[in-house]
Structure 1
Amino acid sequence: MRDATVLISGAGIAGTALAYWLRRHGFRPTVVERAPEIRAGGYKVDIRGAALDVVTRMGLREDIRAHRTDVRGGSVVNAAGKRVASMDGDTFGGRQGEDAEILRGDLNRMLYEASKGEVEYLFDDAIDAIDDTGDRVGVTFASGRVDSYDLVVGADGLHSATRALAFGDEKRFIHDLGYYVSIFSVPNHLELDRWELTYVGPGRTALTYSTAKDHGAKAMFLFASTPLEYDRRDRTAQERLLADAYAGEGWEVPRLLESMDAAPDFYFDSLSQVRMDHWSTGRVALLGDAAYCASPASGQGTSLALVGAYVLAGELAAAQDHAAGLASYEREMRPFVEQNQKLGPANIKRMVLRSAGQVRISMAMLSLLGRLPGKEKLMAKAIEPIHKAATAITLKEY
């Protein structure tokens, strides 16, 4: 398989990491990205467990440490803004030991910089059609360009266009968890200094945080809902849905929502998982969220992308042909994916409380927890499932 040409759709974390590893193994990767450049900024993401081993093997560990968000802690507040409970940053974020929190855009830039010298990047373009002949995959791009490759890998996210072309309608694979998420930049009007504030109302949660690498702040909204009908390209409709979901909510919610219209990075989508019986068909394969999105509630999307890229490239390099390599990739990754996907549904139920009664009980328990001796041990036990899932794979030396 070495020296084979591979087209990767998507220059996010999964796509840029795969390009890096494929080039290391002697492949000739090309990355096509719909955006005009690597996306900057973004929300904060965690790198833990096996993913830490991956970035260490890439030589990026120290660079990542230098770009940590350095969030010092977080507090849960009530409608009046009173801090009910506070914790240090690692405890609040579910991190232990060498786990690192970094802005998604910073990590993406590092991966791009590590790979761009030897990898061809095609920005402002996308795959329009694919034709798997058995020997090669013919690709027609949106720009009109036509080419062929030994393999095509879709690393283009939850709503993967590559997956739709090769596997069919996304409704067969996307499983809505019953919640929606929105994230965007806001002014730091609360003057937060590397701190996170979380407000929990019945069926809806809102939070805002500042990091060492951002002069402003970010706001995140999580709310329970039956499936919503809207055009994913219609931002105005999405803003209206978010405003309606939080109508009449207290704390700083109205002020945070006032900033969404001007935000350059507004994001809105369902909290969903991708579940597929297989991640490849012929010479087309899927990686990261396109294949096995665990949802942002899992806290493991970035780690799954990094580990998946490492394993896919390594198994292809070790195999005699693409079919054997893709089969080995799935055997290695599926137990790890399944363990991490279990985190999403469990975590979101703790993040968004369905009733006013649940909110009152939770606030009372958090207030009590803040005064208990040994609360750190209790919190460490609570986040243990995350670290069990994050280390649920032994990486090979390819």
Structure 2
Amino acid sequence: MRVLISGASIAGPVLAYWLTRYGFTVTVVERAPALRKAGGHAVDLFKPAMDIAERMGVLERVGARKTGTERLTMHTEDGARVELELRRIVGAISDRHVEIMRDDLSEILYEATRHDVEYVFDDSITSISDDGEVTFERGEPARFDLVIGADGLHSTVRRLVFGPESRFTHWVGAYLAVVSLPNFLGLEDRMEGIAGIGRMAAMYGASHLGEARAGFFFRTPQPLDYHYRDVARQKELLRESFAGVGWQVPRILAELEHAPAFYFDSITQLRLDTWSRGRVTLVGDAGYCPGPAVGGSTSLAVVGAYVLAGELAAYGGDHTRAYPAYEAELGDYVRRSRTFAISAAKRIVPGSRFDLWALTQGVRLVSRLPVALTRAALKLGGNGARLHDAIALKSYSAPRETTSHP
């Protein structure tokens, strides 16, 4: 059975890995001309995703490429300063966790699949027929039994099959930007930043990278006017939103023009009644993005890909049964991730002086509590902070051996 996956970042390679081990023939098409190796921004893998990485045999490589960020120093615009060991937070919300640069994770997953999967770079799907006929920007038309969109928040597959993106997006009220820049603060195992009302900026390094990343979160009362591919406009909006902020922000903004890599997007959720239509389905951010940086979307993408592959194997490739089973298995986890993301966005970016004070005091309290006590408090609080570990992974049929070596 031939399967076409659009997207070679995270969900796509994980899905390809498991499908090939269940006997499917997989092609992955990726718009980018080559695998991205600029580092990207830091992403989190929580216990379920780490368990999957372990089953794939790539966990050791993932651990070797972890960022190594251990401490946070946060200044506030009103002059306060707090410090926190990050393990106190991540250890409380998940029993197993690693932070890794997105492009590093993508490369690891690609290496684990490239001998068994046909990768086609620098191409994109232009149409999908009900009978599985697919046309491409550059390649020749081809027919596939299944077509799966793993091509992110701005998915081409979703647009072609389900309609315009605007029909399914729910803006959370904030924006995220990430800039690559020289590590002029000498950050290796720590993150340092500044928080104010409606905006926050932080800079961090990674143990194996010579450069650093600066991350920006900010709220706006209304959605901003820009196109997601208009980088010049995005940089202009970022400068406007952080004008007058102290600490190292002016120097970071001055690096924008020369930044080797820049990312900017709204913190937006996708809400579809179904992720499947005919022989087509969606996985990861393409189908159920809970919100970049606040909803555990990378972990969710890994879990979603694992579940989708498993259900397709369980039903012998019959998508009329496998797709509904996939949505049923993952649905509650996705809904809870959305709810958590909205709450997290409000907590991370204070909306008032009181919220800023509460954030500062909360960090100080967590820095003094044992991790076990913080974990217990989160469980009792019932605010969804432990949701990243809330899905129990099914064990699907034993996969066959293949030639790839992670």
**Structure 1 counterpart of 2:147:** 152
**Structure 2 counterpart of 1:20:** 17
**Structure 2 counterpart of 1:300:** 296
TM-aligned CA deviation for residue 120 of structure 1: 0.3
Map of 1:163-178 to 2, 5 A cutoff? 163-178=158-173
TM-aligned CA deviation for residue 60 of structure 1: 1.2
Asked if the contact 1:230–1:238 (Cα under 8 Å) also holds between the matched residues in 2, the reply is yes
Map of 1:284-299 to 2, 5 A cutoff? 284-299=280-295
**Structure 2 counterpart of 1:211:** 206
1:352 matched to 2:340? The reply is no
2:158 maps to a residue whose letter is: R
TM-aligned CA deviation for residue 301 of structure 1: 1.0
1:71 matched to 2:69? The reply is yes
**Structure 1 counterpart of 2:270:** 274
Map of 1:223-242 to 2, 5 A cutoff? 223-225=218-220, 226-242=222-238
Give the gaps of 5 or more residues in structure 2: 398-406
TM-score normalised to structure 1 length: 0.92
1:90 matched to 2:87? The reply is yes
**Structure 2 counterpart of 1:195:** 190
SS class of match (2:129): strand
SS class of match (2:115): coil
TM-aligned CA deviation for residue 224 of structure 1: 0.5
- Per-residue CA deviation, residues 76-134 of structure 1 (Å, 9 max, x unaligned), is 1134886x22122322556654311111111111110110001000000000111112x
1:168 maps to a residue whose letter is: G
Structure 1 324/355 Cα, relative in aligned 2: closer, same or farther at 3 Å?
Answer: same
> Could you tell me how far apart the structure 1 residues matched to 2:164 and 2:88 are?
40
1:115 maps to a residue whose letter is: T
> Could you tell me how far apart the structure 1 residues matched to 2:150 and 2:365 are?
44
> Could you tell me how far apart the structure 1 residues matched to 2:291 and 2:374 are?
23
> Could you tell me how far apart the structure 2 residues matched to 1:168 and 1:245 are?
32
Structure 1 43/382 Cα, relative in aligned 2: closer, same or farther at 3 Å?
Answer: farther
> Could you tell me how far apart the structure 2 residues matched to 1:335 and 1:310 are?
16
> Could you tell me how far apart the structure 2 residues matched to 1:382 and 1:250 are?
34
Counting aligned pairs with the same residue, the percent is 42
Asked if the contact 1:339–1:389 (Cα under 8 Å) also holds between the matched residues in 2, the reply is no
Asked if the contact 1:339–1:392 (Cα under 8 Å) also holds between the matched residues in 2, the reply is no
> Could you tell me how far apart the structure 1 residues matched to 2:242 and 2:377 are?
29
**Structure 2 counterpart of 1:11:** 8
> Could you tell me how far apart the structure 1 residues matched to 2:312 and 2:145 are?
12
Structure 1 281/269 Cα, relative in aligned 2: closer, same or farther at 3 Å?
Answer: same
1:273 maps to a residue whose letter is: Q
> Could you tell me how far apart the structure 2 residues matched to 1:148 and 1:211 are?
43
Give the gaps of 5 or more residues in structure 1: none
How many residue pairs get aligned? The number is 389
**Structure 2 counterpart of 1:252:** 248
**Structure 2 counterpart of 1:396:** 395
TM-score normalised to structure 2 length: 0.91
TM-aligned CA deviation for residue 50 of structure 1: 1.3
Map of 1:316-335 to 2, 5 A cutoff? 316-320=312-316, 321-335=318-332
2:391 maps to a residue whose letter is: A
- Per-residue CA deviation, residues 137-163 of structure 1 (Å, 9 max, x unaligned), is 111101152111001100000011110
2:262 maps to a residue whose letter is: F
